[in-house]
Amino acid sequence: MSLKKAYEQYFKMGTSVSVFDMKSERAKEELVKHYSSMTAENEMKPMFLLDKETTLANPEKYNLQPAMKFDSAVKYLEFARENGIALRGHTLVWHNQTPIWFFKKGYQDNWDAPWADRETMLARMEWYIKSVLNFVQTEYPGVIYAWDVVNEAIEEKAEEGWRKRSPWYQTVGEDLVLQAFRFARKYAAPGVKLFYNDYNTFNPFKRKTILEYIVKPLMEEKLIDGIGMQTHLILKECDRDLVQYEETLKCFGATGLEIHSTELDIHNADPSEEGLNKLADVYRKLFSLYVKAKKEGTANITCVTFWGMKDDVSWLTGFRKERSYPLLFGDNWEEKEAYHTVLQVAEEASR
């Protein structure tokens, strides 16, 4: 049995894929076996697609239309096409992993340089979105089925509203999300789904702010097709967070938009049997929520994507500054208890 087969009737099963995975035969085998959707972990982010050397060599020429390069994306596009795996585009407009020069007057590569003005930034935004979508849709039509158009535009403390520290906010201002989705809709091929993606969406303030500031205005203009819930969870906090997570599924689901769980992992520092059983238990609860929401029609979940295929490659070890064992497969691809549990949830649901 494979993950994608087990969940076929409910939603796509996805994973992020790193550049190292793309070089590993074993990783590619597992990818083809278990997943029907994939997301490039980094290589389709602006820091990879903007051509710094060419742009900065002639900032006047490229002022409104930065030079682009797509070689880092091509291996993902080709692999996805060859193996019939749907590719999630991640991500067009984000404050992170976008070089600072992109936001600066004359492309000065320096944090202290003045920002480019709003008109310039809107032109650069449109050019960026248009170039990326045109490239993938011309060279690899039908391969990318959904895009995270904007990632993380709401403040960590959601009661503060917009993430005002973001260079996008600093330069474009409050309508940055609306503008980005207008451009994305203008250039996206018919049928390509446009998503807003954010983390800690179980936070009640954040949920409310996302609905008010982002989803409602975008829905009014029919610009958004789905909401991405990143789903980076922490095992020790799941008792509390899953209650709110279910509520968010309901609230987001009630909009009628598609819901993707876009970056699922559960930080867990305990590799003992007890730790791994606890992890499996939380995965059971989470997948039960997904299946229940899907079956009862409370949330139209169409894809669940893990952020990494196996423990030792997870970003969490670096981020949390302790070794993490957050995923379904161990360092040597061993099937963890959590893996069996996730399969079991699907089997039980289909009985």
Q: Which two tokens stand for residue 103?
A: 């936001």
Structural Rg of the chain based on CA atoms: 20
Distances (CA, A) of 160 to 43, 113, 156, 165, 203: 31, 26, 8, 11, 13
Q: Report if residue 168 touches ligand GLA, rule: CB under 6 A.
A: no
Nearest to 45 by CA among 80, 18, 85: 18
Which residue's CB is nearer to ligand GLA, number 122 or number 265?
265
Among 103, 196, 315, 339, binds ligand GLA (CB under 6 A): 315
Please identify which of the residues 30, 41, 152, 258 carries the catalytic annotation: 152
Q: Is 348 an annotated catalytic residue?
A: no
The only residue of 76, 79, 140, 199 in contact with ligand GLA, by rule CB under 6 A: 199
Give me the half-sphere count of Cα atoms (radius 13 Å) on the Cβ side of residue 19.
Answer: 9
Residue 195 interacts with ligand GLA (CB under 6 A)?
Answer: no
| Amino acid type, 285 | K
Instruction: Name which position in 230, 231, 302, 341 contacts ligand GLA (CB under 6 A).
Output: 230
- Strand partners of residue 306: 15, 264
| Interaction of residue 263 with ligand GLA, rule CB under 6 A | yes
* 298 cis-preceded (ω within 30 degrees of 0): no
- Which residue's CB is nearer to ligand GLA, number 90 or number 193? 90
Smallest distance from ligand GLA to CB 163, Å: 13
What DSSP state is assigned to residue 1? -
Q: How many chain residues interact with ligand GLA (CB under 6 A)?
A: 6
C-beta of 199 vs 329, nearer to ligand GLA: 199
Residues that bind ligand GLA (CB under 6 A): 90, 151, 199, 230, 263, 315
Instruction: Return the active site residues.
Output: 152, 263
